[in-house]
Amino acid sequence: MIVLGVGRVVAALASNRKPGEIAAAVAFAFMLGLMPGGNVLWFALLGLTFFLKLNLGIELLLIPLFSFAITAFDPYIDQVGYFILTHNALYPLFATWYNTALIPLTGYNDTLIAGGLVLGILAWPVMYTVSRVMVTAYRKHLHERIAHHPAVKAFLKLPLVGKLTHAGRRLYSVGSRFR
């Protein structure tokens, strides 16, 4: 299972897809990783990404990785959220939101959710730009080196990997008939 996931990521990085699609997936995964899951706002943002042109496979693979890595920064995210939620200038807005019908269900009044959302929005352009540069650099400089490395060639000659690759190609060819 892990081999298939890594293989799909490498295939997406090396494919002819636009680097912006992969960069947007990384940026949204980082934003969703900053926020704790299980609330309406998190699921609404995830649902939004299904309507955007980005690589969903990479996004869904990176969300748990970012979520796990970012747990070390939860105290700082909590402080940012506390600062935002207790800011006097924003109090009337939050009071109005709290008294509306569905907005309290988003969990915006949780310090981790508010801090994660604001930091995610601020980090989105940075993550997008960095990811786009990295994808372009990978395609230009590293892909051919990695593809022709003896260890990769030996790995691809393993019988199990060959069977999985063959099955993936057949599955892709069947799926392409319905596009």
List the chain domain ranges: 2-148
Residues 133-166: b if buried by 16+ CB within 10 A, e if exposed:
ebbeebeeeeeeeeeeeeeeeeeeeeeeeeeeee
Residues 52, 24: contact at Cβ < 8 Å? yes
pTM, two decimals, is 0.76
- The pLDDT of residue 127 is 96
The per-residue pLDDT of the chain, averaged, comes to 83
pLDDT band, residue 1 (cuts 50/70/90): very low
Give the whole-angstrom CA distance, residue 165 versus residue 163.
5
Q: How many residues does the chain have?
A: 179
Tell me the two tokens of residue 50.
């299904």
Give helix 111-137 / helix 74-85 axis angle, nearest 10°.
120
Tell me the two tokens of residue 128.
């997008």
Give the whole-angstrom CA distance, residue 160 versus residue 169.
14
pLDDT higher for 150 or 68?
68
For the residues 36-59, what does the mean pLDDT come to? 90
For the residues 92-119, what does the mean pLDDT come to? 87
